[in-house]
Structure 1
Amino acid sequence: MGKIYVLDTNVLLQDPYSIFSFEDNEVVIPAVVLEEVDSKKRYMDEVGRNARQVSKLIDSLREIGKLHEKIPLHNGGFLRIELNHRSFHQLQEIFVEKTNDNRILAVAKNLSLEEETKENGRQVILVSKDTLVRVKADAIGLIAEDFLNDRVVVIDDIYAGFLEIYLQKERLDTFYEKNELQLADISNHSFYPNQFLIMRDVLGGSSSAVGMVDSAGKKAKKLVFDNEHIWGIKARNVQQMMAMELLLRQDLPLVTLIGKAGTGKTLLALAAGLMQTEDLRRFKKLLVARPIVPVGKDIGFLPGEKEEKLKPWMKPIYDNLEYLFNTKKPGELDAILAGMGSIEVEALTYIRGRSIPEQFIIIDEAQNLTKHEVKTILTRVGERSKIVLMGDPEQIDHPYLDEYNNGLTYVVEKFKDQAIAGHIKLIKGERSGLAQLAANIL
């Protein structure tokens, strides 16, 4: 016996193809959901794009049959636009206002009551990404679920980029002598390309080593940039040392860094970018960008030219640049950047349609990007460019994203077995003792 899934608007706006995610069950879209989707079509952002995609998809399904009568889907399920069951009688004493959320709840509740009167009545489940809608549904006796099909990982096992293994001291000595180890000799575990290995003495001795799996996944090799100093910056912990290795390697055009606030993601990436752009001349330009997503209430429109408008959003980048350039006076950094001409700080709003060759590209706060947006960015990368995506998946300001379905996590998981990509999760905060304590306990 199948089930009936009633979809909230936010499910469709998060994933336009979500209607195909419910196997051979019946998917019901209340008419009020179509009205909400229609109201979002003119938005010039990801929500608007998804609203237009939903509209086109449902319109194409009209060719199969009448949507209000139930049509078959290619995955074995069925789709129906629900025009009836809108009566608010069952909820009018509980929820006084007829908001769109309450109308969707009313449709689900009325369908559930109708199925209960049947001999082989089906289970009705409301699917919503809105926590309070699920709470309301539970309060009126409805089954409610979050939409989890868009998650890259379902539990807290996001790829960390490194692994601790314990070896005999003789193996560690061999690694120090030859600067490499055959992975088949030390473990039957399968390793990802460019994964870091923290090798420790199995007997608890002080001997340890850090190696990096080669692109073929056959050997663990010594780090090339061990304890490297770049622009006055040196790695303060083992994960930062691994990040430095990834950032300076020329054979890795894609690097992803995740970590809590204060772990050094932005500072390390900027230092590596400046060194390779200004000193080594590997790249023509250093491009730094971040999505325009406010924390808390938006401050509205800002006066001035584009550069003046972007300055408040890009302040975290400028703070790190001031530290690297050791500027003391107001306006000193602006003068330095204007004189160099090879550093560009940009909003991601302007990246669509561009081709970016021979540049070191840093995308900060990438956890606020959707899968589609991160694909748009990566497909802009031109020849001989290197791109660094970084952020904290636990600090998301986007209304439809979480730790497991955002664009940064998506790239980490999809590229972890690719030889051209490297990833590391930074763990220890180095900003200050207070910052590290706040990141851990708050």
Structure 2
Amino acid sequence: MEKIYVLDTNVILHDPKSIFSFEDNKVIIPMVVIEEVDDQKKRQDSVGSNARIFSRYLDELRKKGKLCDGVELDDGGRIKVELNHQLLTELPKGLDPNKPDNRILATTLGLQEDGEIPVILVTKDINMRIKADAMGLAAEDYATDAVNIDELYSGIKNINVPSDKINALFRDKKLELNELDLEERLYPNEFINLEDEFGGSQSALCCYDEAKNKLIPFIFNPTDIWGIKPRNREQKCAFELLLNDNIKLVTLVGKAGTGKTLLALAAGLQKVVEDKSYKRLIVTRPIVPMGNDLGFLPGDKDEKLAPWMRPIFDNMEFLVGGKDENGASAVADLKEMGLIEMEAITYIRGRSIPNQFIIVDEAQNLTPHELKTIITRAGENTKIVLTGDPYQIDHPYLDSNSNGLTYVVERLKDKALVGHMTLYKGERSQLAEIAASSL
């Protein structure tokens, strides 16, 4: 049955292509949304970019017909800019009719009163959905890029096999996949923990090579990467992905204290400083404050970034401090040599970055569109590592199911150049593990 979808401003600023995501249904853009998007177009971040992209889309559609009458979309749907309902519909008492959110609600309410076609408000604002429900309106989150966090691909799988298959893997350094009666699909670079099906203690940790359709032992067996030793199975798997130059994108997901950032930095330093496989290590993270923002910060770019990059510096000084009595000085020396660069996400847009090892920390605070922008910056022989905890999100319109990190994990899990690992066990301290697991 045909439906009418009314889009809130935050949906468009989250994904400017959202207007094309509703198949053969009708998409309504209230005039107040156009005004709010216009207010954001001069921003020099992803929000401003999305506002400008959306405006260009509408301008192209305008050439096909009048937006006030509705314009046909390629997928059979129809888009219309609604002018009148926010003026004609009476809002419930207590709601300010001049407030943009309330004008969007009025538009939705007016459309619902017009006919029998179901009208649904699409918004990423939880309170907006609550207000819509209180007014008897259907409302839902923008779910096109949503992922069920409870079913997120983990990167590792336990498989029970006869003990002779485990012996064959150790003996032949491979195990043909057709020798196993598997019902589940394996993804490229997925890790497999083979266990004795009869309950014996024998087991083997291996990796799936899609090109050869075989299970193979680990290529790397790191015992000391910049003073870091893997403490559990998942960390060992993470190092296997981080040290493999054939895997160009690595995603590491885990709660606080599981070692995501530390493992990525250790591998990056190893690859850049010791192995010289890459020209430079670039570390970046989204500038999204937890709690109240501190406002504008004084100084040049590095001084402005210093508070946001403090967690990175802490980990870096811990690593480099193992080789130098003055860890902080050693980090500064690496920066002066051009081997390490701290960069803001804002300045990555438009760049082409070849032959570098890039770490994007706290990637759960980025939208799918922002992460796409970052990943498409990768030039020849560049490796990108995304780390983050989907349960610790500071972005107002993202959650554990709709952030860019989980979206990338699910959408790219079947690609040969991509590897993923979910880290479960906290290794920072007993107190940190208790807090992450129990609070």
Instruction: Give the structure-1-normalised TM-score.
Output: 0.92
Query: Is residue 355 of structure 1 aligned with residue 352 of structure 2?
Result: yes
Deviations 1:229-273 (A, max 9, x none): 112111000000000111112222222211111110111111112
Listed as ranges, the gaps of 5+ residues in structure 2 are none
**Cα drift, residue 137 of structure 1:** 0.9
2: CA distance between counterparts of 1:89 and 1:352? 43
Retained in 2: the 8 A contact 1:166–1:200? yes
In the superposition, relative to structure 1, how do residues 75 and 359 fare at CA in structure 2: closer, same or farther (>3 Å)?
closer
Deviations 1:136-161 (A, max 9, x none): 1111111111111132x346322211
Alignment of 1:394-433 (within 5 A): 394-433=391-430
In the superposition, relative to structure 1, how do residues 86 and 342 fare at CA in structure 2: closer, same or farther (>3 Å)?
closer
Aligned position for 2:432: 435
Query: Is residue 318 of structure 1 aligned with residue 313 of structure 2?
Result: yes
Aligned position for 2:181: 187
Residue aligned with 1:86, SS: helix
2:163 equivalent among 154, 166, 169: 169
2:244 equivalent among 238, 249, 254: 249
Aligned position for 2:57: 57
2: CA distance between counterparts of 1:166 and 1:235? 25
Deviations 1:2-61 (A, max 9, x none): 222222111222222222222222222211111111111111111111111221222222
In the superposition, relative to structure 1, how do residues 251 and 77 fare at CA in structure 2: closer, same or farther (>3 Å)?
closer
Query: Is residue 345 of structure 1 aligned with residue 347 of structure 2?
Result: no
Aligned position for 1:224: 219
**Cα drift, residue 193 of structure 1:** 1.4
Runs of 4+ displaced beyond 4 Å: 327-331, 333-336, 338-341
1: CA distance between counterparts of 2:217 and 2:301? 45
Alignment of 1:100-119 (within 5 A): 100-115=100-115
Aligned position for 1:367: 364
In the superposition, relative to structure 1, how do residues 18 and 110 fare at CA in structure 2: closer, same or farther (>3 Å)?
same
Q: Match of 2:164, as an amino acid? A: E
Residue aligned with 1:288, SS: strand
Alignment of 1:2-41 (within 5 A): 2-41=2-41
Query: Is residue 270 of structure 1 aligned with residue 265 of structure 2?
Result: yes
Percent sequence identity is 54
Instruction: Give the structure-2-normalised TM-score.
Output: 0.93
2: CA distance between counterparts of 1:250 and 1:81? 49
In the superposition, relative to structure 1, how do residues 217 and 424 fare at CA in structure 2: closer, same or farther (>3 Å)?
farther
1: CA distance between counterparts of 2:418 and 2:23? 34
Retained in 2: the 8 A contact 1:193–1:217? no
Aligned position for 1:158: 152
2: CA distance between counterparts of 1:139 and 1:385? 51
Q: Match of 1:46, as an amino acid? A: S
2: CA distance between counterparts of 1:24 and 1:14? 22
In the superposition, relative to structure 1, how do residues 431 and 350 fare at CA in structure 2: closer, same or farther (>3 Å)?
same
Q: Match of 2:310, as an amino acid? A: K
1: CA distance between counterparts of 2:417 and 2:328? 39
Aligned position for 1:296: 291
Q: Match of 1:65, as an amino acid? A: G
Aligned position for 1:391: 388
Retained in 2: the 8 A contact 1:15–1:150? no
Retained in 2: the 8 A contact 1:88–1:103? no
Deviations 1:336-394 (A, max 9, x none): 43565422222222223333333222221122223333233223223233221211222
Q: Match of 2:316, as an amino acid? A: L
Query: Is residue 86 of structure 1 aligned with residue 86 of structure 2?
Result: yes
In the superposition, relative to structure 1, how do residues 89 and 194 fare at CA in structure 2: closer, same or farther (>3 Å)?
closer
What do you get for the CA RMSD once the two structures are aligned? 2.1
How many residues in Structure 1 have an aligned counterpart in Structure 2? 436
**Cα drift, residue 299 of structure 1:** 0.8
2: CA distance between counterparts of 1:291 and 1:310? 11
Moved more, 298-307 or 61-70: 61-70
1: CA distance between counterparts of 2:247 and 2:327? 37
Query: Is residue 206 of structure 1 aligned with residue 201 of structure 2?
Result: yes
**Cα drift, residue 334 of structure 1:** 4.9
Q: Match of 2:406, as an amino acid? A: T
1: CA distance between counterparts of 2:251 and 2:309? 20
Retained in 2: the 8 A contact 1:87–1:110? no
